[in-house]
Structure formats: structure tokens, C-alpha cells
Amino acid sequence: MMPDTAPYDILFMDQAQNEANTVPTPNDINGSEILIHQSTGSRLVRMQQRFVMKFGVQVNPIEAHNMLYVAKSTTVPVPRVYAIYQSPSENESVVTYIVMEYVPGTTLLKLWAKLDQAHKLSIAKTLRTYFDELRHLEHPGYFGNITGGPPLDDMFSATEGAQEVKTSFETEDELIDCIIRIYFLETGDRMAHKTQYYQHVLPTILRGNGSPVFTHNDFQRKNIMVRPDGMPIIIDWEFASWYPTYWEYSTATYSNGGWNDDWHEYVRMVLDEYPNQSLWLSSMKLEMWS
């Protein structure tokens, strides 16, 4: 429960929307409908029928800024961002609140088994247009997040060597060197000889076209909402960053789980395939985290 008048800072406000219809604040959370309650420090609640608020100590304002960037720079449909707030919490941590448009519909994960081939193909073709447009965004000249920091991936934030990664990478070589260093710090002596092997082969294997592309970096069916009219909307942009061309396909295949249905057939329709880079990155992640 929150106090009725908890203090908070406003990091962003859609003024046009706020004038027409007051945007909810952190003080309006009590009594809202809980949609998702994750113990990892993130909740999603529905407010005033047309808004959702995502908040928690593990929610980062950059997720909202990623959506604002995509909305401004492309025609790719994303949930509209109305406000970003922050307030102090216990243990000197900070709680971030992102107020977004409520997108009615069902996740593609829940719908998939009920869809026929024609509907799956239609959704895949639409998603392809989204990613094609993202790939044509003018890159900033580095591999990293939109503010110039490190890429937003668990590899660069939830590993033993993550604290060493302070900024973006100017070249693919710098990115590869960091991946190998993080792998060694995460696995230690257990995989010391494998680290030496990776130092030998990965500089020639983990190659895109040399240029960063804007990448959602969590392309899974659970992160695609299908509206009642059939329009797919990509949600959860918290890991989006500028990555090599192969990264989107690699994370999509790594997160495919049990490979127990035909989803992979449509992933390759939506995204350019990079099976070689994908297999190597997936192997590294399994060795680090399993």
C-alpha cells in the first residue's frame, strides 16, 4: 500500500493528453486492477480503463524512452507513453512508474495454438514490416542503448562482469571482446579453456554487417499483443538497443524455450536468419547460466 500523497518526480508528461484527460499518478495506484505482479520488482496495473502503469524498483525509464523514440521515428505501433514518474523507496532504491496506453487484446502466446496457418502468416508478414522499418533507422554510430550507455541485455547487466561495462561500444570488435570477458568472469576456471577457444573463433563468427541496427531484443510471443481487430502490437521495450544485425534473431531463437510448436517457422519470416551466430551465442549463454 502507498501513502495517499507519496512524493514523486515527473520525468516526462504528455501535456496534450494530460490537459484533455488527467493522467494517473503513483498516488492513484491503490484500488487499481493488477494485471501482472512479478516478484522481481515489477508490477503492471490497469487504471481508469484506458491506462496501464508499470512500476517497480526494476523498471527503468529507458523502457519508456525506447517507446517514445520508436513512436517518433517510425510508423511501428507501440503503446503510447503518457508519463514517467520516479519516487524514493526503501533501501535507497528508486521506483519508476511508466503510464502507458492500455492495449486491449491477447498475447500471441495465448492465441498461437488457436490460429490457422493463414492467420499466422498474416501476423508474421505484418511483424516483418515493423522490423524492416526498425532496421532502416539511422544508427548513432555505436552499439549500445539510446542514451549512449551499454546495450540493455542480461549479458551486460546481470553477470559478474556487468559492473565493468559503463558505456557503449564503438565497434563490433569491442563488443565481442566484452562478451568474451564477461563469459570468463561468469564461468571462471571451470571454462578457462573454452574461453581461450572463444577468443580464437568468435572474432570471425560473431559478425553482422558492421553497422548497429535498432533491436527490440526480446522478440517473443508473450511480448506481442494482438488487438481485437487482428493488429499485432509489440510491447515490453525494456531491452531495446543498437545491436549487430544478428542479435534480434539470436535472442529470439534462444528464448524459444522447448521448441514444441511451429513458432520457429514464422520467426524466420519475420526476421533475417543468422543461425550461425545464434547457435554460438546460445551456447555461451547456456554455459554461463545453466
Q: Per-residue pLDDT for 34 more than 90? A: no
Same domain, 96 and 108: no
pLDDT tens string 167-213: 999 999 999 999 999 999 999 999 999 999 999 999 999 999 999 99
What the block records as the C-alpha cell of 288 is: 554461463
Local confidence band at 160 (pLDDT 50, 70, 90 cut-offs): confident
Percent over 90 (pLDDT), the chain? 81
Local confidence band at 19 (pLDDT 50, 70, 90 cut-offs): low
**Looking at 75, 101, 127, which one is the last position of a domain?**
101
pTM, entire model: 0.93
Q: Please classify residue 92 by burial: count the beta carbons closer than 10 Å to its beta carbon, then call 0-12 exposed, 13-18 middle and 19+ buried.
A: exposed
Same domain, 92 and 15: yes
**Residue written as grid cell 561495462:** 165
What is the rounded CA–CA span in Å between residue 180 and residue 185? Answer: 9
* CATH number, domain with residue 13: 3.30.200.20
**Identity at 83, one-letter amino acid code:** A
What the block records as the C-alpha cell of 131 is: 522490423
For 241, the 3-state DSSP assignment is: strand
What is the rounded CA–CA span in Å between residue 97 and residue 174? Answer: 34
**Looking at 101, 126, 141, which one is the last position of a domain?**
101
Residue span of the structural domain in which 273 resides: 104-290
User: 174 in a domain, yes or no?
Assistant: yes
Of residues 286 and 35, which shows the higher confidence score? Answer: 286
**Looking at 80, 101, 122, which one is the last position of a domain?**
101
Same domain, 95 and 116: no
